[in-house]
Structure 1
Amino acid sequence: MTWSTWLVAPFITSVFFVLGVFTLYSVTFNWITSGTHSWNINIEDDTLNSWYGVLYMLVFVFSIQSSVVGTSVSWEFMNFQLIAVTFCAYFLNIHVPLYSFVPIVLVYMVFNHSIGYWQSWGHAITLMFFFWILNFIRVRYRDKHNEFVRYMLVGISFGGILWFWMRLKFHITWLTFAQEWIYLIIFEILLYMYISMLSQDSAIKVRLARLASHDTLTNTENFSAYTDDVRQMFDQSHEDGKPLTMMMFDIDHFKHVNDTYGHLAGDRVLQHVSMVTQTVLDENDTTISFYRTGGEEFNILFPGYSLRETETVVRQIFSAINHMKVNYDTDEISISISVGVSEITDDDKSPMDFYNRVDKNLYYSKRHGRMQITVD
């Protein structure tokens, strides 16, 4: 129809069809991940990408094949299927053990009425090794020189073998064999270029998102991330009745550090304090969240922790930082912190009520000699 009506070659429409399929995948996957984040569903994006990618491509392959299944031209959509396999194995990097791949291939062969042909068995075994080798080179040679060359060598080699099995089974001419093999190579090149473009765009978005939520100096989360998280944790705590505790601390006499040693020295102190604090948190519980919310002010949220349960971690941070020496050029800077800690209560009507009470405890510590912890 595309040729007879619009004078557009089928190959051209096939290119746009394949790119459209992957564009739809990208759009729907982004929609799903946005939904899981909004609904606070605890599933990693990589895991979701793997499961959704397999399901999407299986639906795609079985759907397009259903129109020609059992006919003498059931090979016509094989390039689309090989591109789907390449997408899952290489670009989604979905790991499917060979023994798990067998049932999928058998179901497809039954569906396609090809299980009784020895050529189809040869094709199936070749396809499984094609998938496995794509997985292998993706992991082994990712981000290395000549990555594209390795990808194309595998795609061209296995593409030729897979089409040769089709020639044996359907007795297609050498000309058709060569055309389909060349079309597959072109599809593989376009797929690599297209996914690389999407990946670059995704990497930029990830970087921008990180810049929006993280402090570039200390690599901690920033005030914007804190406000989003404390609102969510506050609501969750009131809904399920689980405790939530906050620790807030300031670096004592930080202005004196800047005035005496310079702002670069102050930056070094902030970085060192952040690094030590994050190390303590990582050794205890990675669900505890750490933020730089002001110049020398830091907040830590303990979801699911009562005031008593935070005591050990708070003391470890307090002890690790106080009297810590930070070297800057030839100077040795002694630092200490003042701390306020409190647990959410039923009287807290908003996250700001919670914050103000912790802040009040912090300033009590600062007004009464500094380098101490105030808890209520």
Structure 2
Amino acid sequence: MSFFSEGLIVYYTHLWQRAFAGHSSANTKVHYRIGMLGFILFAGLFFHTAGLYAVDGEMLYHNVCLIIVLFPLFDDHINRFEYFLRCCGIGVFWVIHQLDHISSSIAVASILFLVCILLIIYRFHAQIRHNPVISFMLLTLIGCVFWLSFPHKVTETDFTDVVVSNVVLIRATLMVLVISLFISLYWNYQNRQNKRTHAIEKLAYYDPLTQAKNYTAYTTDIERRFQNAKLAGTNTVVASIDIDYFKQVNDRFGHLAGNTVLIGVSDLLHNTLKKYGCDQELYRSGGEEFVVIFRNASTNTAAEIITECWSKLSEHDFMYNGHTINITTSVGITNSAPDDTSFQDVYQRADHSLYHSKHNGRQTISIDSMTYLVKMARNLDALAYFGESVYDLRSPMKPLVADGLILKERNDQTHRWEIINPTSISMKFRISLLKKYLQTSRCQTVTLPLSRIDVSNSDAINSLIAFSQSDLGPERLIIQLTDPHLIDLLPPLTDLDTPIDIWLIQHNVLDLKQAILYTPRIKGLHFILSGHETQDPARHQLFQHWYQFAQDYHLQFAVSHIDQQSSLDLVADLPGINFVQGTKIESTL
């Protein structure tokens, strides 16, 4: 029976490894965690039933059942709900064996004892799990209390003779002691083996400096993930991240400073990726280059996450011996394609995209060798907010009520101001530009579009809110979001001295059905409609859909990019249009 018990424990340990320590996807790990609970239930019921109907050895079956429902309580990494389910399992087992005298003082005392023990195991789990002496004592103590409170006639054994009863109790208790000793020793042995395996794995697959996985692990993992993605028909995205001019850091501050930067980069990347779950893996592929593999993710999703990493790296101050070191990074992103024959095809495309970023001035993100985002210089003189006037159509005078802010950079070659992606500029600098804009603007209410990257950065959002509530801030701030789910990432915006409103701005992939649950927190909808789009039936239909949604849920409705008479004519006769925004409509109105 001990060999059989060992087999059960080995199989259960295999399930635990797959559920918590393997390389499976998050969904697969959830399935294994459910499988662990199912295995405990099935094995416990099997041995309990065998103990009730066995002709001989019924005490042994009950003891094995007791240990089976007990030892999963010591599992690492389980959450409160999983621990509660395990407690329910042992509670049911315990009460079933007390049914004949459930109201007796012995039964009540044993149940109270069990509750106390379960709370102690939960509270001191870390100290108990890998200590064979304590775990042995606890298992033995629980088993002894179980048998000492065991009622008569639960099994076929004759308990009527006091001498026989004592002998049976002693046998049962000794069985618990032996099984508990075996389990505790096996756990201790397994723990030492796991530590040795982990230490060897760290030497083979982890970079000792940054603690990120190394190139050997990268080639192994990407080959496996490539094959799995091929079979499942899913997507794998690879992003190569290289520190720009890293040699200059070593030359100027020394190699120890360079090591400090590498450790800091690894930590920052790891902490940022951790926010998005466990479907990303970080590697140091060599020198100053890091690689991130995204499992079953779209290129756009991966690009948003990498852009947040990229922005944080450029804004972070790395400290070494009192020196502040700032870096930039270049990034190349690609995804697996149906005609790829090996992971080398994916790796080469990511490498070519990285080379494209390096070749085009560095501090750039490229996707499939096409520029996706370029970090702008931190020169406030070359950046400025420009405002598109927003007019209130509800008033007969159609007054100016807000400025829609657009971030632009001055091109020194063409001497023209060009629109840029605000995400490429830190929130700190955008606040400085906003402060400068408000000093000369006749309108102190502004609309500010925010991306997922902005909203995910709690420090940036808190800085913006703090500025809006300061004396230099606007009279009212209107935040524009492209996804209603981003509202969940924002802190509470009620009871502020300076009002902050949330508007949804039209985006091609936004399904308004997602916004229904958020309508109590949304002030209005903002639809972008250029003049040349008024003749497009698809855009016109989408416009009508947004307009009707605003009417149904009593939201304010604004239309922007009204730069032609045709655009104004389209919205002029609709009573639900509250605001229009554009650069050339003042004279028209």
TM-score band (shorter)?
0.7 to 0.9
Change over 3 Å in CA distance of 1:38–1:278 after alignment to 2? closer
1:289 matched to 2:276? The reply is no
Q: Which residue of 1 aligns with 2:71?
A: 87
SS at the partner of 1:43?
A: helix
1:171 to 156, 161, 174: 161
Matched, 1:250 2:259: no
SS of 2:238's partner is strand
Residues paired across the two proteins, number:
350
1:122 is displaced (CA, Å) by: 8.0
Which residue does 2:448 correspond to in 1?
none
- Measure how far apart 1:271 and its partner are: 1.1
> Taking CA–CA contacts closer than 8 Å with sequence separation of 6 or more, which of the two structures ends up with the larger relative contact order?
1
SS at 1:332 equivalent? strand
Deviation at 1:249, TM superposition (A): 1.6
Greater Rg over alpha carbons, structure: 2
Matched, 1:299 2:284: no
356 and 165 in structure 1: CA distance in 2 versus 1, 3 angstrom threshold? closer
Q: CA deviation at 1:222?
A: 2.6
- Per the alignment, residue 272 of structure 2 pairs with 280
What is aligned with 1:156?
A: 141
Is 1:224 aligned to 2:216, yes or no? yes
Q: Equivalents in 2 of 1:217, 1:255: separation in Å?
A: 17
Secondary structure, aligned partner of 1:341: strand
Secondary structure of 2:28 counterpart: coil
> Structure 1 or 2: larger strand share?
2
Structure 1 293/188 Cα, relative in aligned 2: closer, same or farther at 3 Å?
Answer: same
Equivalent in the alignment of 2:9: 26
Alignment match, 1:138: 121
- State which of 299, 319, 325 in structure 2 corresponds to 1:327: 319
Tell me the CA shift for residue 224 of structure 1.
3.0
Give the superposition deviation at 1:182. 4.9
Do the aligned partners of residues 337 and 351 (structure 1) sit closer, same or farther apart at CA in structure 2, a change above 3 Å counting?
same
Contact 1:126 1:162 in 2 (8 A): no
Alpha-carbon contact 1:215-1:221 (below 8 Å) kept: yes
CA deviation string 1:204-246 (max 9, x = no partner): 3344445544333223233233223323443344445444332
Q: Does the 8 Å contact 1:68/1:74 carry over to 2?
A: yes
Change (3 A) 1:239 1:50: closer
Task: Name the CA shift for 1:232/1:102 in 2 (closer, same or farther; >3 Å).
Answer: same
Q: TM-score, normalised by structure 1?
A: 0.74
Unaligned runs of 5+ in 1: 1-16
- 1:358 to partner: Cα distance: 1.4
TM normalised by structure 2 equals 0.50
Distance 1:103 1:181, change over 3 A: closer
User: In 1, are the aligned partners of 2:69 and 2:86 still within 8 Å (CA)?
Assistant: no
Asked if the contact 2:205–2:216 (Cα under 8 Å) also holds between the matched residues in 1, the reply is: yes
Partner of 1:14: none
Q: How far apart are the structure 1 equivalents of 2:162 and 2:337?
A: 76
**Is the aligned partner of 1:196 residue 2:182?**
no
Return 284-293 or 75-84, whichever deviates more: 75-84
AA aligned to 2:28 is N
- Please state whether the residue corresponding to 2:125 is helix, strand or coil: coil
Q: What is the CA–CA distance in structure 2 between the aligned matches of 1:259 and 1:355, rounded to whole Å?
A: 30
Which stretch shows the higher mean deviation, 86-95 or 237-246? 86-95
Match of 1:42, SS? helix
Q: Percent same amino acid among aligned pairs? A: 23
Q: 1:75 to 1:28 in 2, by over 3 A?
A: closer
Residue of structure 1 in register with 2:29 after alignment:
43
User: Which residue identity lines up with residue 260 of structure 1 in the other structure?
Assistant: R
- Name the amino acid aligned to 1:53: I
Q: Any conservation in 1 of the 2:332–2:366 contact (CA below 8 Å)?
A: yes
Query: Using the alignment, how far apart are the partners of 2:66 and 2:361 within structure 1?
Result: 71
- Match for residue 341 of structure 2? 349
Q: Which amino acid aligns with 1:205?
A: T
Q: 1:250, 1:298 within 8 Å by CA — same for their partners in 2?
A: yes
Letter in 2 for 1:216: P
Q: Which amino acid aligns with 1:43?
A: K
Q: Alpha carbons of 1:66 and 1:202: their partners in 2 closer, same or farther (altered >3 Å)? A: farther
CA contact (8 A) 1:137 1:150 kept: no
Task: Return 5+ residue gaps in structure 2 as ranges.
Answer: 154-158, 369-589
Report the counterpart of residue 55 of structure 2 in structure 1: 68
Q: Which shifted more, 266-275 or 220-229?
A: 220-229
CA apart distance, 1:140: 1.4
Contact 1:134/1:154 (CA < 8 Å) preserved in 2?
Answer: no
| Aligned 8 A contact 1:160 1:181 in 2 | no
Secondary structure of the structure 2 residue equivalent to 1:318? helix
Indicate if the aligned counterparts of 2:50 and 2:61 stay in contact, CA closer than 8 A: no
